[in-house]
Every structure is written in structure tokens, then in C-alpha cells.
């Protein structure tokens, strides 16, 4: 059974004048690494946003496991429990330390703060940032910042990681390093990774590549 | 890392704005604390002075609402009052706010009936009391002695007449500590009000109960038209100056509260406009809308509580400063209390919540995808 099922998904803006997604059907298996590629404006990020419950589709059905999106009462809670986001521009909070940035998604969850801190430390150590726990994002390299963002995406033990151009702001050395770390972690934890990318070397690492154009899936391929 | 720390971090991120906002709130709260404490202190100080004398009822003109009621001829009224049941003593008192030295501030000059119970509560620290009501001497409060720079053996000039300072006393009431006291006969003579008093103080016997006091009040109303018998608390609370100062304090509370809430509203609205993207990130990371609201309220309340605490210190300092201004010394005695400070802090929290309602609502309604696109 696929972890993610999308049927005839549509996303229109401006009363239908802008058609971001036009009838997308997609199924993604648990533990799969799927790269979504395509030109700018093809609907990749919109699709990612809908999967991440950041946008509501205009039509169609989408479900993560048994959870149909139309039945979700609290999208934030759903995101916190199921989805981890990694952004191109890292989106770290500049006045929080590396450790606190990783803990941010747990704020307001209740639970044991000490346990969250221990988990964040463990993730950062796994990501090679043992010496950077107290540093602020401004003192970190691009690669280090993205590793902090990866740790942040994993802190709530999500089922799916959504990454929007995670290597887009990195040089090739850092991009490769970040991608290695991300794919290793995702495999270790049996997570599903859906990544939007322009970079062919990145998409080549995926289990499957989805091509999008004009809001539609033009084809898929196993990498 | 918890919500409070996150909120504090957000405020510290923009120190200039945080300091300005806290300062504006502190200023408003300081005005509230200073004016309210002075208004209450003014009332309490007069009441304390009346209570300290051991007066049970005060008879005055019905229509008079001055700090010291308008003078009236006392003889006939006194005669009637002495016939009422339980009345032990009826003692006249005359008071004026007068200049007693060329370069000093005006002070209260009290004329008290010689050898009456009114003098009993004062503690003579130096010198002696007047020996009879014909002697041109005054006793002055410790604070008045300091303000006027007078000591035993010096003279004060009141309405062109010189009086020897025969003693210096201390009283629990700041109004008396900052006053000059002479015998009633001398006060009537020097102010050219022979036979007149501002109030008649009634002392009742030990067997008098509340019902008896009410009966005396009723008797005064019936037998002395135009006069009223009231307690010292009632006299003070019908005092026009007390009423005006309380009204000004209430107006200050209202205006300062409105300004405070608006300052918080403006600051938080600016803050969430600048942090739209950050709020989008937090929503994307799974923060619930209620958590975003709690964050904005926490920031708003932190600003107002900090401003409130600074305002309390500032207000106490302003009131203390005003008490020591030459013109005001011995006339006001700011009254502070712990419940009042807690009430002010409560008001600060309330202002934070009021000022934060719309910004918190607006922040919580942001669409994460739109907020993330915000530059």
C-alpha cells in the first residue's frame, strides 16, 4: 500500500485564471526517494506544498497512509506529526542557536523538554555538528546550515520529508555532502523523501524521478 | 527551549523597539502610580490627621467642600451640640494655608482650642506647649521646622504678627508634621475671624455605639439647619480636592491605559508584519495557530509587565520627588501598598492582552504558503 496517494489533484489560483496543478495522479511508496523535476512554474513546489498541507487543493484527493487530507482538522498538528520540511534558503531563525533551531518544531508540543534536547543533540552530532551546537546560524557555512535544517526536519520523527531545492543554495561540494547525509539518514530511518530539484546530479540519486510541466506530470522514471 | 524563551528571544532581537515600547508603557504606568498614590495619600493623610486627634464626629457647614470647610461662628452651635446625648467634648478648629516666612513655601496654620484633647496625640520633641491662649507662640511640626529652617526661640511672622516658636512636635500625619499650630484664640485673632472655626470636633463618651453616633448625626441635622455631623472619613471623601485628585487619577489611568494598549498594538503589529516569513516557517514546522497566538500574547505581556515594573519604580520615584518639592512638602504623602502594585501589574497584563489581541489573531490567520513567500 502506498504511503502517499494523489488522485486527480487540481490547484487553481485567482478564480481559475492561474492553473498551478492540473489533474495530477501519483502514488509514492513508503521509504521511497522521489525527485520532482521540471522547469520553473511547472507546479513542483505547489505539489510539494499540497503534500505538506501548506496549500489546499482546489480539487482532487490526497491521502497520507489512511489519513485523507480533506478530513484533517488541524493541519499544523498533522504536519508536526507526519511531515518534515527542508527549504532551499534554510529558513533558520538567526537569533537562535543551532540546538534551539532544531528544537523549534517541538515548542508548544508539551512533552519532555529534556528528551527533545537530547534528541536534537543526537541528530546534530550524527550530522557532524557536535562543535556547532551553541553557534548561531550566521556563523555557520551554507552546508552546515542545511544540515541544521535537516536535523530540524527530523526532530519530530516524521513519516515524510519534503525538500524544496535543498542543495540549491550550496556549492557542489557542500551539495554532495548534504545530499549524502540526507539520503543516508532517510534510509536509516526508513523515511519517505520527496524532493523538488533542478539539479540532474541530485535527481539521479532518487529511486524515481517525476517530470512536471504546466501543472501536469509528464512522466516518471526509475533512476 | 520553550515558548517563553522564544518570545523573549524575539523581543531581544529588536532591542531598540523593545526599549522604546517598554519605556512608553513605563511612562504611562509611572504616571498612574504617581498620581494615584498621591491622590490616595492626600485623602489618607487628612483622614489620618483627623483620626489621630481622636475626633468621633465633625460638625461643619452642609455645603462646604473645601479642604478645610468654610469658617462659621461656633458659639451657638457649640451650645446645642453639648446638649446632645453621649457628647463629651466639642472643640473648635481653625485652619488656613498661609505664608509664614518671606522665602518659604505656604504651610497649614492650625488654631486648636487651648488645653483641648486635640493636642494629646502630638509628641513634643523640643521646647514646650503654649501656656495659655493669650500667649503669642506657635509650635511647629518637625517637617515644617526643617522646611522653614526654624528652631526653638526663632520667630515666624503670620499675617504681619510675630510669633515665638516655643516647641517642635512630631505627628503621625504628614499634614500636621508640615504645619504650624497655635491656640484657637490666637488663630482667630491673627486671621481676623473672631469666634469662627472651620469645624467643630466632637468627642463622645466610651459607651457610645454606632447607633448612638447615627442618632447624634440625625439630631444635628434636625436641630442645626445648614450644619452636618459626619465622620472624618466622610469629611475627607466629600472634600472637593480629594474628589478632583481622584478624578484626575482615574482620567490618567484611562488615558495611560489607552495609550499603553495602542503602543503594544502598534509594536506587535509591526513585529508580525516584519516576521511574516518567520511565522510562515513556524507554521510549516508544525506550530499550531494557538501556539502562534500564545507567542504574540507572551511577547505583548512581557513588554507590558516589564514596562509595568519599571513604571512602578518610576512612579514611586516621581511621587517621592513630588513629596520633596519645596511647594509640596508637608502637604502630600503618597500612599503605596502591595495590593496596589499587584493591581498595576494586573493592569499591565491586561494592556498586553488587549494590545495583542488583533496582532495575535492576524498572525495566527496567516497562510503558511503565502507567509513563506513573503520577503
Q: Which residues of chain A make contact with B364, given a CB cutoff of 8 A?
A: none
Residues near A65 by beta carbon (within 8 Å), at least 6 away in sequence: A3, A159
Nearest residue in chain B measured CA to CA from A85: B285
| Percent of all residues in chain B with a pLDDT value above 70, rounded to a whole number | 98
Q: Which of B2, B278, B372 sits opposite A107 (nearest CB)?
A: B2
The confidence score (pLDDT) of residue A223 equals 47
A135-139 CB contacts, 8 Å cutoff, 24+ apart: A135/A97, A135/A98, A136/A94, A136/A95, A136/A96, A136/A97, A136/A98, A137/A90, A137/A92, A137/A93, A137/A94, A137/A96, A137/A98, A137/A101, A138/A94
pLDDT tens digit string along A41-77? 899 999 999 999 999 999 999 999 999 999 999 999 9
**Confidence band for B39, pLDDT divided at 50, 70 and 90:** confident
Q: Which of A54, A79, A103 sits opposite B1 (nearest CB)?
A: A103
**pTM higher than 0.80:** no
The confidence score (pLDDT) of residue B330 equals 67
**Confidence band for B66, pLDDT divided at 50, 70 and 90:** low
- Inter-chain contact A76–B289, Cβ cutoff 8 Å? yes
The confidence score (pLDDT) of residue A109 equals 81
pLDDT tens digit string along A90-133? 999 988 999 999 999 999 888 888 899 999 999 999 888 999 99
Q: Which residues of chain A make contact with B282, given a CB cutoff of 8 A?
A: 104
The confidence score (pLDDT) of residue B83 equals 92
Q: Which residues of chain B make contact with A119, given a CB cutoff of 8 A?
A: none
Which of B177, B182, B178 is closest to B165 using CA atoms?
Answer: B182
Residues in chain B: 375
Q: Which residues of chain A make contact with B288, given a CB cutoff of 8 A?
A: 74, 76-77, 80, 108
Edge to edge, the sheet with strand A18-28 lists A18-28, A4-13, A59-64, A67-68
The interface predicted TM-score of the complex, written ipTM, equals: 0.90
Q: Which of B277, B278, B287 sits opposite A76 (nearest CB)?
A: B287
What structural domains does chain A harbor? 32-53+73-222 (3.40.50.300)
Highest mean pLDDT: which of B89-98, B169-178, B306-315? B306-315
* pLDDT of A11 higher than 70: yes
| Percent of all residues in chain A with a pLDDT value above 70, rounded to a whole number | 98
| Residue B285 near chain A (CB below 8 Å) | yes
pLDDT tens digit string along B1-21? 788 889 998 899 889 999 999
Nearest residue in chain A measured CA to CA from B364: A76
Q: Which residues of A touch B (CB under 8 A)?
A: 49, 52, 54-55, 74, 76-77, 79-81, 83, 85, 87, 91, 93, 95-96, 99-100, 103-108, 113, 116-117, 152, 156
* pLDDT of A221 higher than 60: no
Mean model confidence pLDDT for chain B: 89
Q: Is B315 buried (19+), middle (13-18) or exposed (0-12) by CB count in 10 A?
A: buried
- Inter-chain contact A76–B281, Cβ cutoff 8 Å? no
Q: Which residues of chain B make contact with A85, given a CB cutoff of 8 A?
A: 284-285
- How far B285 CA lies from chain A's nearest CA (Å)? 5
Alpha helices in B191-323 (DSSP H): 210-223, 232-237, 240-274, 276-284, 289-323
| Percent of all residues in chain A with a pLDDT value above 90, rounded to a whole number | 66
C-alpha cell at B316: 514611586
Give the bridge partners for B164, in sequence order: B137, B155
pLDDT tens digit string along B88-113? 999 999 988 888 877 777 888 999 99
Which of B230, B191, B220 is closest to B71 using CA atoms?
Answer: B191
CA distances from B60 to A211, B56, B57, B66, B228 (A): 97, 13, 10, 11, 6
**Confidence band for B73, pLDDT divided at 50, 70 and 90:** very high
The confidence score (pLDDT) of residue B372 equals 85
Q: Which of A80, A93, A96 sits opposite B286 (nearest CB)?
A: A80
The confidence score (pLDDT) of residue B179 equals 92
CA distances from A208 to A88, A184, A191, A223, B328 (A): 21, 17, 15, 5, 85
- How far B246 CA lies from chain A's nearest CA (Å)? 44
Substitution target in A14, A86, A97, A107 with the highest count of B β-carbons within 10 Å is A107
C-alpha cell at A114: 529534556
Half-sphere exposure of A87 toward its Cβ, with a 13 Å CA cutoff? 18
The confidence score (pLDDT) of residue B291 equals 93
Report, as an integer, the average pLDDT of B159-168.
92
| Pairing of β A192-196 and β A33-37 | parallel
Q: Which of A95, A103, A113 sits opposite B13 (nearest CB)?
A: A95
A194 in Cβ contact with A28 (< 8 Å): yes
* pLDDT of B162 higher than 80: yes
Nearest residue in chain B measured CA to CA from A88: B372
CA angle B350-B346-B44, nearest 5°? 130
d(CA B201, CA B55): 6
- Inter-chain contact A74–B281, Cβ cutoff 8 Å? no
- Inter-chain contact A49–B369, Cβ cutoff 8 Å? yes
**Confidence band for B64, pLDDT divided at 50, 70 and 90:** low
pLDDT tens digit string along B235-281? 777 777 778 888 888 998 999 999 999 999 999 999 999 889 999 99
Amino acid at each position: 500500500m502506498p504511503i502517499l496517494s494523489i488522485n486527480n489533484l487540481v490547484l487553481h489560483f485567482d478564480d481559475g485564471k492561474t492553473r498551478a496543478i492540473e489533474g495530477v495522479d501519483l502514488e509514492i511508496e513508503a521509504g521511497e526517494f522521489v525527485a520532482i523535476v521540471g522547469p520553473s512554474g511547472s507546479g513542483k513546489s505547489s505539489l510539494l506544498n499540497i503534500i505538506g498541507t501548506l496549500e489546499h487543493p482546489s480539487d482532487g484527493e490526497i491521502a497520507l497512509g489512511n489519513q485523507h487530507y480533506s478530513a484533517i482538522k488541524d493541519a499544523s498538528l498533522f504536519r508536526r506529526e507526519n511531515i518534515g520540511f527542508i527549504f532551499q534558503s534554510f529558513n533558520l531563525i538567526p537569533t537562535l542557536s543551532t540546538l534551539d533551531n532544531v528544537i523549534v518544531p517541538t515548542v508548544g508540543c508539551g512533552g519532555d523538554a529534556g528528551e527533545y534536547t537530547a534528541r536534537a543533540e543526537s541528530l546534530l552530532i550524527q550530522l557532524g555538528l557536535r562543535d556547532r551546537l551553541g553557534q548561531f546560524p550566521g556563523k555557520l557555512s551554507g552546508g552546515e546550515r542545511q544540515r541544521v535544517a535537516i536535523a530540524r526536519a527530523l526532530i519530530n520523527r516524521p513519516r515524510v520529508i519534503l525538500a524544496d531545492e535543498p542543495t540549491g543554495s550550496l556549492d557542489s561540494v557542500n551539495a554532495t555532502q548534504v545530499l549524502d547525509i540526507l539520503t543516508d539518514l532517510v534510509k536509516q530511518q526508513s523515511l519517505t523523501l520527496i524532493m523538488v530539484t533542478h539539479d540532474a546530479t541530485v535527481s539521479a540519486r532518487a529511486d524515481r524521478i517525476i517530470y512536471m510541466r504546466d501543472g501536469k506530470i509528464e512522466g516518471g522514471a526509475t533512476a | 527551549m520553550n515558548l517563553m524563551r522564544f518570545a523573549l528571544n524575539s523581543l531581544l532581537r529588536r532591542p531598540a523597539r523593545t526599549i522604546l515600547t517598554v519605556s512608553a508603557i513605563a511612562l504611562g504606568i509611572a504616571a498612574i502610580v504617581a498620581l494615584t498614590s498621591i491622590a490616595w495619600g492626600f485623602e489618607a493623610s487628612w483622614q489620618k490627621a483627623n483620626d489621630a486627634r481622636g475626633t468621633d464626629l465633625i460638625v461643619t457647614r452642609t455645603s462646604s467642600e473645601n479642604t478645610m470647610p468654610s469658617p462659621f461662628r461656633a458659639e451657638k452651635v457649640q451650645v446645642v451640640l453639648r446638649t446632645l446625648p453621649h457628647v463629651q467634648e466639642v472643640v473648635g478648629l481653625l485652619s488656613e494655608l498661609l505664608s509664614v516666612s518671606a522665602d518659604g513655601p505656604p504651610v497649614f496654620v492650625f488654631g486648636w482650642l487651648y488645653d483641648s484633647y486635640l493636642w494629646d496625640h502630638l509628641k513634643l520633641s523640643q521646647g514646650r506647649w503654649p501656656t495659655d491662649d493669650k500667649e503669642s507662640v506657635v509650635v511647629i511640626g518637625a517637617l515644617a521646622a526643617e522646611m522653614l529652617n526654624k528652631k526653638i526661640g526663632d520667630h515666624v511672622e503670620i499675617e504681619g504678627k510675630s510669633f515665638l516658636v516655643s516647641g517642635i512636635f512630631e505627628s503621625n500625619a504628614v499634614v500636621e508634621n508640615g504645619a504650624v499650630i497655635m491656640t484657637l484664640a490666637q488663630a482667630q485673632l491673627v486671621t481676623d475671624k473672631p469666634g469662627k472655626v472651620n469645624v467643630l470636633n466632637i468627642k463622645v463618651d466610651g459607651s457610645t455605639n454606632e447607633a448612638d453616633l447615627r442618632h447624634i448625626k440625625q439630631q444635628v441635622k434636625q436641630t442645626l439647619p445648614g450644619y452636618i455631623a459626619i465622620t472624618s472619613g466622610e469629611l475627607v471623601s466629600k472634600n472637593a480636592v480629594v474628589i478632583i485628585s481622584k478624578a484626575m487619577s482615574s482620567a490618567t489611568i484611562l488615558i495611560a491605559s489607552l495609550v499603553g494598549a495602542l503602543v503594544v498594538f502598534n509594536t506587535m503589529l509591526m513585529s508580525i508584519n516584519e516576521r511574516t516569513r518567520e511565522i510562515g516557517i513556524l507554521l510549516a514546522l508544525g506550530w499550531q495557530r494557538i501556539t502562534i497566538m500564545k507567542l504574540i500574547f507572551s511577547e505583548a505581556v512581557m513588554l507590558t509587565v516589564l514596562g509595568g515594573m519599571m513604571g512602578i519604580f518610576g512612579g514611586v520615584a516621581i511621587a517621592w520627588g513630588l513629596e520633596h518639592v519645596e511647594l509640596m512638602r508637608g502637604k502630600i504623602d503618597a500612599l503605596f501598598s502591595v495590593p496596589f502594585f499587584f493591581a498595576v501589574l494586573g493592569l499591565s497584563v491586561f494592556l498586553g492582552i488587549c494590545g495583542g489581541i488583533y496582532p495575535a489573531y492576524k498572525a495566527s490567520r496567516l497562510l503558511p504558503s503565502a507567509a513563506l513567500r513573503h520577503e
